[in-house]
Amino acid sequence: METRRINPEEAAARLLEADNILILTHKNPDGDAIGSGIAIALALQQKGKHCRVCWTGELAGFYSLITECYQPDEIGEPDFVLAVDLANPRLLPEDTIGYSDRVDMVIDHHATSVEFARETLLESAASCCAEIIFKVINAMGCSVTTDIANCIYVGLSTDTGCFRYSNTTADNHLLAAQLVSLGVNIAKFNELIFGQKSRARIEIERRALSGMEFTSSGKICIITITRSMLEETNCIESDIEGIATIPKAIEGVEAGITLREQENGNWKISLRTASLDAAEICSLFGGGGHIRAAGCECSGTPFEIKVAMVAAINKRLGLS
Amino acid sequence: METRRINPEEAAARLLEADNILILTHKNPDGDAIGSGIAIALALQQKGKHCRVCWTGELAGFYSLITECYQPDEIGEPDFVLAVDLANPRLLPEDTIGYSDRVDMVIDHHATSVEFARETLLESAASCCAEIIFKVINAMGCSVTTDIANCIYVGLSTDTGCFRYSNTTADNHLLAAQLVSLGVNIAKFNELIFGQKSRARIEIERRALSGMEFTSSGKICIITITRSMLEETNCIESDIEGIATIPKAIEGVEAGITLREQENGNWKISLRTASLDAAEICSLFGGGGHIRAAGCECSGTPFEIKVAMVAAINKRLGLS
């Protein structure tokens, strides 16, 4: 389907013509997906529209802070289907994937968007979808309540790592200033989003740290996650998100290696580097990636794999 | 000494009258102390002033990003002594404590300031000293270079926990927006300030996590730091900063307890709670503090102390 690119004002006008609006987002929704979906639903409800936001799976506990303020409407067959923070209809969860070819509008910030909807509001320079949603809400002439501000803040804060990541812009801070003025309890949100760890996460971290190995005068740090560790701790995928960043974040470490045992008995390797070319090193083992973050999959024992990786890294560090 | 309260414009005017300026700050300086000191020095150097910023002790590696951009002047006997981020002259490090009774001006944001200088620019509503320094620099008509913006950003980011703490204001975000526009590499700073852990810190964390105990259906989590653990890992005070926040930050934990062995054999207890009155509980053991963060010091074995604390907490959780 040919999509038509639209701006926030056009998106606002189109949404105001609809009555029963189904709002979709990607599976395993994050703060930006949920925050964007509920923010636009709350705004549309102000205008007398009926809205239902769909998401699948259990959300981390902190999302209740924003989901609680939203009452879904019974909408029956929707007359308008909106997708937010969705770059590709294949990322829809199973129970809404049937809507793939009848999405009326997508609002998104991913440069990788495949533009599958009838109309597309795409701002790929935006750090989060929520900041585009904020423009649409203003263009609809809605009042930005504290509940809406909370939703926008969660999207903004999640996708910028609480203003830490390199995608954070001056505009993001200007938006945050507005949201704080609207009464967002930023300390509470950020404590819940960034301060808390699941019990399974802390259990896997304690096992990973316990087996942490240093070599090459502390320049290489290795952690190993076995399948039995994951089973013991009941970890789900989201519990081990970002675990590969732990070894690299230690002062003095040039190369952080994380080994993760796969179901087929192979080991998935993540390499994070301070100054070395991680992609080049992983390419020696049939993998690839980015210059400071790359990966590969290896067979063999963890010991054999570590010896081979350390030798390659030592050579590039001038240590052999 | 009676102090005179001044505003940023008066502070700017007074500093522009001086020539050889000594800039002091508190011992164990943090990002706000160092950032404030170097920012004002760089601005004064633009105006042809000679400045020397004094700090004591080894700074964490990431400070080199801001200290490198500053060349101290040889000033001999100063004609003006400025203190920044200093609430009390007793907090001066040993090598500058001799200046305690001859500080000409203090610029600070601590509500606890004892106002010891001839003139005091105190804004206790400011989240960080650096935001007051920024006003003074503008009032002096200096150009805010990227180096100065970096220093201000480090102060702002450090004292607000990268915009996470409850002291973060809308004004802080407006300032951050300006600083980002001035070229601050926020991702690099924040990675170094918040993303990195010292080797000693990770070593103490791995020992603390390894001995972590849960009780009361996961509602109480306890970590214990012995003196031998600190010795084994060569931890200095800054390495264990904030370690008491670890148990409370685990999902489902109502009360996080940290036991730290003291030189005299006693145990210092930190209690962090989600909904219980931590100060009231610690008062049972001769301590006190805030409603969600309190402490006490106990003698006895760690086991005895833990049993007594858990009993008191269980009672308040309705579990006994």
Q: Do A170 and B186 touch (CB under 8 A)?
A: no
Q: pLDDT of A48-97, one tens digit each?
A: 999 999 987 667 667 888 888 899 999 989 999 999 999 999 999 999 99
pLDDT 10s digits, B181-234: 999 989 888 888 887 888 999 999 999 999 999 999 999 999 999 999 999 999
CB B169 within 8 A of CB B127: yes
Please indicate whether, in this complex, the C-beta atoms of A249 and B196 are within 8 angstroms of each other: yes
Residues of A in contact with B61 (CB under 8 A): 251
Which residue of chain B comes nearest to A160, CA vs CA? Answer: B187
Mean pLDDT across chain A: 93
Most B CBs within 10 A among A163, A184, A203, hence the mutation to make, goes to: A163
Query: Per the CB < 8 Å rule, is B162 touching A162?
Result: yes
Question: What is the sign, positive or negative, of the torsion defined by CA atoms of A297, A303, A308, A311?
Answer: positive
A contacts of B190 (beta carbons < 8 Å): 163-164
Contacts of A194 in chain B (CB under 8 A): 164
Indicate yes or no: CB of A195 within 8 angstroms of CB of B245: yes
| Chain B interface, Cβ < 8 Å to A | 61, 162-166, 168-174, 176-178, 180-181, 186-187, 190-191, 194-199, 202, 205-206, 209-210, 212, 218, 245, 249-252
- pLDDT at res. A245: 87
**What's the average model confidence in pLDDT over A293-317?**
95
- In tens, the pLDDT along A268-287 reads 999 999 889 999 999 999 99
B281: distance to nearest CA of chain A, Å? 23
Which residue of B172, B199, B250 is in closest CB contact with A199? Answer: B250
pLDDT at A236: 79
pLDDT the model gives residue B165: 86
Question: What pLDDT is attached to residue B1?
Answer: 65
Write out pLDDT tens, residues A172-183: 999 999 999 999
Q: For chain A, percent helix, then strand, then coil, each to nearest 5?
A: 45, 20, 40
* pLDDT tens, residue by residue, B237-293: 778 878 988 999 898 999 999 999 999 999 999 999 988 999 999 999 999 888 888
Report d(CA A301, CA A265) in Å as an integer.
9
* Homologous superfamily in CATH for domain A4-194: inorganic pyrophosphatase (n-terminal core) (3.90.1640.10)
**Min Cα separation A206/chain B (Å):** 5
Question: Model confidence over A97-116: pLDDT tens digits?
Answer: 999 999 999 999 998 888 89
Q: First vs last Cα of chain B: how many Å apart?
A: 56
Please, are residues B119 and B91 in contact by the beta-carbon 8 Å criterion? no
In this prediction, residues B171-182 reach a mean pLDDT of 97
Measured CA to CA, the distance from residue B225 to residue B259 in angstroms comes to 6
**Confidence class of residue A267 from pLDDT cuts 50, 70 and 90?**
very high
A199-317: CATH, from 3.10.310.30, 3.40.50.2300, 1.10.3720.10, 2.60.120.590: 3.10.310.30
Mutate to test the interface with B, among A209, A233, A234 (most CBs of B within 10 A): A209
CB-based contact A199 B252, cutoff 8 Å: yes
Determine whether the interchain pair B209/A212 forms a contact, defined as Cβ–Cβ distance below 8 Å.
Answer: no
Q: Using a CB-CB distance cutoff of 8 angstroms, which residues of chain A are in contact with residue B187?
A: 164-166, 168
Per-residue model confidence (pLDDT) at position A117:
96
Averaged pLDDT for residues B107-133: 94
Residue A261 pLDDT class (50, 70, 90 cuts): very high
- Mean pLDDT along residues A34-53: 97
Q: What is the pLDDT of residue B295?
A: 92
Location of each CATH 3.10.310.30 domain in chain A: 199-317
From chain A, the residues in CB contact with B191 under 8 A are 164
Phi, psi of B293 (to 5 degrees): -145, 110
Q: Identify whether the C-beta of residue A190 lies closer than 8 Å to the C-beta of residue A178.
A: no
Q: Mean of the pLDDT values across residues A26-48?
A: 94
Range of lowest pLDDT (A194-198, A263-267, A298-302, B136-140): A194-198
Burial class (CB in 10 A: 0-12, 13-18, 19+), B306: buried
List, by residue range, all CATH 3.90.1640.10 domains of chain B: 4-194
CB-CB neighbors (< 8 A) of B165 in chain A: 187
CB contact under 8 A, A174 and B170: no
Angle of helix B170-181 relative to helix A170-181, nearest 10 degrees, comes to: 170
Q: What percent of chain B has pLDDT over 70?
A: 98
Q: Which residues of A touch B245 (CB under 8 A)?
A: 195
Contact assignment for A173 to B177 by CB distance below 8 Å: yes
Closest alpha carbon to A188 in A159, A150, A226: A150
Which DSSP state fits A60? P
pLDDT of B61 over the 70 cut: no
What is the average pLDDT value for chain B, to the nearest integer? 93
Nearest CA in chain B to A181: B170
Predicted pLDDT at A1? 64
Model confidence at B98: pLDDT above 70: yes
- In tens, the pLDDT along A130-189 reads 999 999 999 999 999 999 999 999 999 999 989 998 889 999 999 999 999 999 989 888
**Distance in angstroms (rounded) separating the CA atoms of residues A229 and A243:** 13
* A170 to B177: CB separation less than 8 angstroms, yes or no: yes
Q: Mean of the pLDDT values across residues B117-134? A: 96
Residue B320 has pLDDT above 80, yes or no: no
| pLDDT top residue among B66 and B20 | B20
Find the closest chain A residue to B248 by CA distance. Answer: A196
Q: What pLDDT does residue B56 have? A: 79
Asked if B186's CB is within 8 angstroms of A169's CB, the reply is no
Answer yes or no: is pLDDT of B2 > 80. Answer: yes
Chain B nearest-CA residue for A176:
B173
Q: What is the mean pLDDT of residues A16-44?
A: 95
Q: Is the ipTM of this complex over 0.85?
A: no
Instruction: Please judge whether B61 and A251 are an interchain contact, meaning their C-beta atoms are less than 8 angstroms apart.
Output: yes
Give the range among A23-27, A29-33, B26-30, B253-257 with minimum mean pLDDT: B26-30
Per the CB < 8 A criterion, the answer to whether B277 and B291 are in contact is yes
